[in-house]
Amino acid sequence: MLMFFLNNCTSTQQYYSPKIDVEQWVEEYNVCRGKGKLISTGRVNGRLSFTYTCVEKDVFIHFKDIIGRKTMLIILRHNSVEAWDMMQNIRFSTESIYLRFPFFEVLKPMDLISIFWGIEPEGLHKSQPNKSMTESEIDIRFSSDGLDLQTVLINMDDKKQSIEMTFVERELGSAYPHLIKQIPESIPRAQS
């Protein structure tokens, strides 16, 4: 115990915070909202900003491009992901999203829900994220400010493609009600 105390006194970058899981935060706060940015480099390059609202275990994410146009709506639920490409007016099902984005083989919807609540997914490292799941290798890294999750870095295909998601604002107990919407049924589905 003394060694633990001395170690924390000498380090300026370590924080001690009790382990919190998403269930506790959902029960305590019910809603969460925030803003961030997503940077993709490699075969797919781009920079998008996003706003999001978590309502219990549903997450509604709106992406905007660099000039402020709404580009995509993503809805995460416990076992599903839906996306609406607003620029192309196409709806993507969970299956078609999994085919287009191989990191979904490692990061399941519930893992992403935890990330948006600001909590590193619990069982993720046990699932061996560095093990080749398909032909591509996926490496996922997290960074935190000691209070909640700030950045998620996903490297795929030996760093030929990377996605960095940074949360610049997170507010527990608040929501952006205008983000809570469903994808219209009239939107055509993408061909898998």
- Is the confidence at residue 126, as pLDDT, over 50? no
Q: Which domains does the chain have, with CATH numbers?
A: 30-175 (2.50.20.10)
102, HSE (Cβ side, Cα atoms, 13 Å): 18
pLDDT score of 90: 93
Return left, alpha or beta for 43; rule: phi > 0 is left, psi -120 to 50 is alpha, else beta: alpha
pLDDT score of 115: 93
84 contacts 187 by C-beta, under 8 angstroms: yes
pLDDT bracket for residue 192 (50, 70, 90)? low
Q: With the C-alpha atoms ordered 30, 177, 93, 102, is the resulting torsion angle positive or negative? A: negative
pTM of the full predicted structure?
Answer: 0.79
pLDDT score of 166: 95
- What mean pLDDT, rounded, does the chain reach? 79
pLDDT bracket for residue 31 (50, 70, 90)? very high
Pure H helices in the chain: 2-10, 22-29, 94-100, 109-117
pLDDT bracket for residue 129 (50, 70, 90)? very low
136 contacts 106 by C-beta, under 8 angstroms: no
What is the percentage of the chain residues whose pLDDT exceeds 70? 80
Query: Minimum mean pLDDT among 21-35, 56-70, 119-133: which range?
Result: 119-133
